[in-house]
Structure 1
Amino acid sequence: MAHPYIPNSVPAVRERMLKAVGAASVEEFYADIPESIRLRRPLDLPAPLRSEAELVRHLDGLLARNTPGALSFLGAGCYQHHVPAVVDEVATRSEFLTAYAGEPYEDHGRFQALWEYQSLMGELLELDVVNVPTYDGFQATGTALRMAGRVTGRRTLLIVGPVDPDKLSKIADYVRPDHDVVLVDAAAVADLDLSADVAAVYCETPNYHGILDASVPALAARAHAAGALLVAGCNPISLGVVAPPSAYGADIVCGDIQPLGIRMSFGGGNAGFIATRDDPRLVSEFPSRLFGVIPTTVEGEYGFGDVDYERTSFAVREEGKEWVGTAAALHGIMAGVYLALMGPQGMREIGETILANTAYAQRRLAEIPGVEAPSAAAGQVSFADFLVRFTGSLTAAEVNTRLLALGIHGGKVLSATDALYCVTEIHTREDIDRLAQALEEITA
């Protein structure tokens, strides 16, 4: 039966589509999807809703299940930050609402706004070239690693963990079949085999567990000595207080701009950045758009537009470095407004507040019997995210269930004993104390 909201479920339409792409069946069309990730059973979905009124009623019921006003300590890649009102005001202006990657006849300042974003990000990252945002930080990471592979002509990508499992999955999928991904635990970095086939070493500061790893500069030196590139991921809101990856030898820096004035949107609100120094060898491998400023025929007036457009699939379609389609350009404009508002001093104050809140939260929770903060105990510095370990009779998931009953979202569960908690500048000392008091009651 045809689905009311999916036109290609009509058999005749599906057959015409398959014929157009030269596939005999849907199974043949999806032949390159690995068996390991195939479901091989029908999706567990409710019966289709066959009217708009039914659909609205169903969605209203789902929304009514939300827990409003709960105190949240979730992070792990999507963060709560204060968003100044002017960011939303600029983002909802009519000339920016369609800040898409295509070419309107009149850009109404959109190209300049994106150029300003790139310039501000370049200053923050201490690098020369920044792209128009990609879909999200995961894609930016995969693209950065593919860029490194094209520059070096090598195959192996060493990923230094811990890394978000979802990000690792996206990387592995995005770089295949040209590259092999090898995950290396941070504790084993000293024994890394940087053979002649290593295209890039990827690491993060802070890493998935929020730790600012002091061994990364030495890793950069080792990668370069072996002819590989260092690709570094970072949380851009940390750079008011933490040296950018470029300062310790990163060749390509990537990440997600969601912390920079973009609200959490049901797990979304993401956009990816990629940045390098002004090295033609690196810049020529950007698959995404780069905006520059040039003089016009009118003295004192300037225009803004694409730089080296021939790199992209917009210009040469299938001959582009990678296929680039929809971008998250509006989010780039929002991040640009946020950075312009904060300035260097504001970014420093936000970073210092997050560092102080993280340290206080770790110290306060570690005082509770049956609760540990392993990174703090090891003398490591954490930023925003930090690992919490429950050594009592309750699992991390059970602790979260009991916290939710008290109006608190606990951290992201990583294992039976471990969860990843997060604090930012919006958390007060009273918020952290409330969490600690709740955990004292739950684990007693």
Structure 2
Amino acid sequence: MSEPFVHPYIPNTAPDVKAAMLAAVGAASVEEFYADVPAELRLDRPLDLPAPLLAEQDLARHVRGVLAKNRSTDERLSFLGAGTYNHYVPAVVDEVINRSEFLTAYAGEPYEDHGRFQALFQYQSLMAELLAMDVVNVPVYDGYQATSTGLTMSGRLTGRRRVLVASDVLPAKYSKVHDYVRHHIDLEIVPTVDGTADAAAVAARLGDDVAAVWVETPSFSGAVETRIRELADAAHAVGAVLVVGTDPIGYGVLTPPSLHGADIVTGDIQSLGLHQWYGGAHGGFIAVHDDPRFVMEMPSRLFGLASTDVPGEYGFGDVAYERTSFALREEGKEWVGTAAALWGIAAGVYLSLMGPQGMAELGELLLARTRYAQQALAAIPGVELGDGALHLREFTVTLPVGASDVIRALRAEGIEPGVAVGERTLLVCVTDMTSQADIDRLAAALERVTASTSHILEEQNA
């Protein structure tokens, strides 16, 4: 039997250290420690790693070769969305966040701060104005974590654990949220009607064991919820809260959920001045009203104005730091790790550049281009819209042929037509980077491919 491998620089590879760690958590083996990880997600073989590259130039060449396989949305016409979006990023955003005092300031305290706390305070203030909320956190890891935290906050606030899911949720997001909250919250999906929440069905399932109603707007398919006030009133009538997961990109023109009765608003800031970067730079926001009950349940950092020892001078520092896991450690209500603070600064720069008028124009543009794309694709024989709801940026179409076949054919023409979300269902996304000519090109290519594929299928079935 070979000796166990002990890495020279990683101390927890030593057998005695592993044994001590397992004993501390009460697990008999490494396999028992990872019992919560589903079997289908485990790798039952060693990693398929290449032989070590001993020279730096050889490693650099290898990595360049791997990266060269990627194709960015600058090289291809993209209608991909589903959580990561190709919006225009003003050059000044990248210029600001690449400054050394921001780029390298992952964490730290006021004595080593060079404007980061103030920049994040300004980001929070801009987001609060956009969302019509009072308190917004320093960004957490991503929008998935933010919504998960919003739901666990509802459980702590109400002492309940049942949550009604009223909207269609992006599958990847639902999976992450479920994994995060499953020991504290039970998610119960209420089917939607024509793309949006069925308010009557939600009201029928409400009871004194419900912690929250969870609404996504825009939904997984880009549908904008129009009955948030009804859902909020119904939830509040039984002592539950309304948690809204959203993308803030449209609130220059759409009414923010808080003005319809939402108690906790969460989401992702990737659309606000952050590149796609082969998967996206993501950061999650949590917004609440100025209510101590809600504010004190927020586990993440908040920056605010702070007085100093010098009369008339002020600074920026943590607000109610004692409620965070940074202060309470293992006694914290909820653990918060990586803060996507740099992305908060990026979003703050973006919002300050856009201003209220810019965000309004952007929202109107997105609504108009989304509707134009819907009409252009729905005019193709055999193509139908997924529902009749108002959509922002994304929508689904049902195709007369397989969605994966369409994607394969259009990809050969340099077009990424969308994401297959069903055998014949395609999720299509348009942004401010998508021109009318781009949409016309997609429609023409889609009509040609569907007609050709349908003809081939008819011949095969004849």
TM-score, length of structure 2 as denominator length: 0.90
Kindly tell me the number of residue pairs found equivalent between the two proteins.
438
Q: Is residue 198 of structure 1 aligned with residue 201 of structure 2?
A: no
Report what 1:97 is aligned to: 103
Contact 1:3 1:48 in 2 (8 A): no
1:169-194 per-position Cα deviation (integer Å, ceiling 9, x unaligned) = 11111112121111222235422310
Q: Provide closer, same or farther for how the CA distance between residues 433 and 4 of structure 1 changes in structure 2, counting only shifts above 3 A.
A: farther
Q: Which letter maps to 2:440?
A: D
Question: SS state of the match for residue 112, structure 2?
Answer: coil
Distance (Å, rounded) in 2 between the aligned partners of 1:185 and 1:8: 50
Distance (Å, rounded) in 1 between the aligned partners of 2:214 and 2:181: 13
Map of 1:156-235 to 2, 5 A cutoff?
156-187=162-193, 188-192=198-202, 193-235=205-247
Contact 2:217 2:225 in 1 (8 A): yes
Q: Which letter maps to 1:435?
A: L
Among candidates 388, 393, 405, match of residue 397 of structure 2: 388
Cα deviation for residue 321 of structure 1 reads 1.8
Question: SS state of the match for residue 18, structure 1?
Answer: helix
Contact 1:101 1:326 in 2 (8 A): no
Q: Is residue 363 of structure 1 aligned with residue 375 of structure 2?
A: yes
Cα deviation for residue 28 of structure 1 reads 2.7
Q: Is residue 425 of structure 1 aligned with residue 425 of structure 2?
A: no
Distance (Å, rounded) in 2 between the aligned partners of 1:21 and 1:56: 41
User: Which structure 1 segments of 5+ residues have no match?
Assistant: none
Map of 1:405-444 to 2, 5 A cutoff?
405-444=412-451
Distance (Å, rounded) in 2 between the aligned partners of 1:318 and 1:18: 17
Distance (Å, rounded) in 1 between the aligned partners of 2:214 and 2:245: 8
Distance (Å, rounded) in 2 between the aligned partners of 1:5 and 1:422: 49
Q: Is residue 340 of structure 1 aligned with residue 355 of structure 2?
A: no
Q: Provide closer, same or farther for how the CA distance between residues 46 and 215 of structure 1 changes in structure 2, counting only shifts above 3 A.
A: same
Distance (Å, rounded) in 2 between the aligned partners of 1:242 and 1:40: 45
Q: Provide closer, same or farther for how the CA distance between residues 67 and 263 of structure 1 changes in structure 2, counting only shifts above 3 A.
A: closer
Distance (Å, rounded) in 2 between the aligned partners of 1:176 and 1:366: 40
1:221-278 per-position Cα deviation (integer Å, ceiling 9, x unaligned) = 1111111000001110110010001010000000000000011121120000000000
Q: Provide closer, same or farther for how the CA distance between residues 50 and 411 of structure 1 changes in structure 2, counting only shifts above 3 A.
A: same
Question: SS state of the match for residue 144, structure 2?
Answer: helix
Report what 1:39 is aligned to: 42
Q: Provide closer, same or farther for how the CA distance between residues 100 and 200 of structure 1 changes in structure 2, counting only shifts above 3 A.
A: same
Among candidates 113, 133, 141, match of residue 135 of structure 1: 141
Q: Which letter maps to 1:295?
A: S
Q: Provide closer, same or farther for how the CA distance between residues 253 and 90 of structure 1 changes in structure 2, counting only shifts above 3 A.
A: same
Q: Provide closer, same or farther for how the CA distance between residues 36 and 220 of structure 1 changes in structure 2, counting only shifts above 3 A.
A: farther
Contact 2:246 2:266 in 1 (8 A): yes
Identity of aligned residues (%): 55
Contact 2:12 2:18 in 1 (8 A): no
Report what 1:30 is aligned to: 34
Question: SS state of the match for residue 95, structure 1?
Answer: helix
Cα deviation for residue 58 of structure 1 reads 3.3
Q: Which letter maps to 1:260?
A: L
1:7-53 per-position Cα deviation (integer Å, ceiling 9, x unaligned) = 4784548636635745442113223x154654363377354545455
Q: Which letter maps to 2:137?
A: N
Contact 1:158 1:181 in 2 (8 A): yes
Q: Provide closer, same or farther for how the CA distance between residues 366 and 290 of structure 1 changes in structure 2, counting only shifts above 3 A.
A: same
Distance (Å, rounded) in 2 between the aligned partners of 1:14 and 1:244: 52
Report what 2:157 is aligned to: 151
Contact 1:98 1:330 in 2 (8 A): no
Contact 2:6 2:14 in 1 (8 A): no
TM-score, length of structure 1 as denominator length: 0.93
Q: Is residue 66 of structure 1 aligned with residue 70 of structure 2?
A: yes
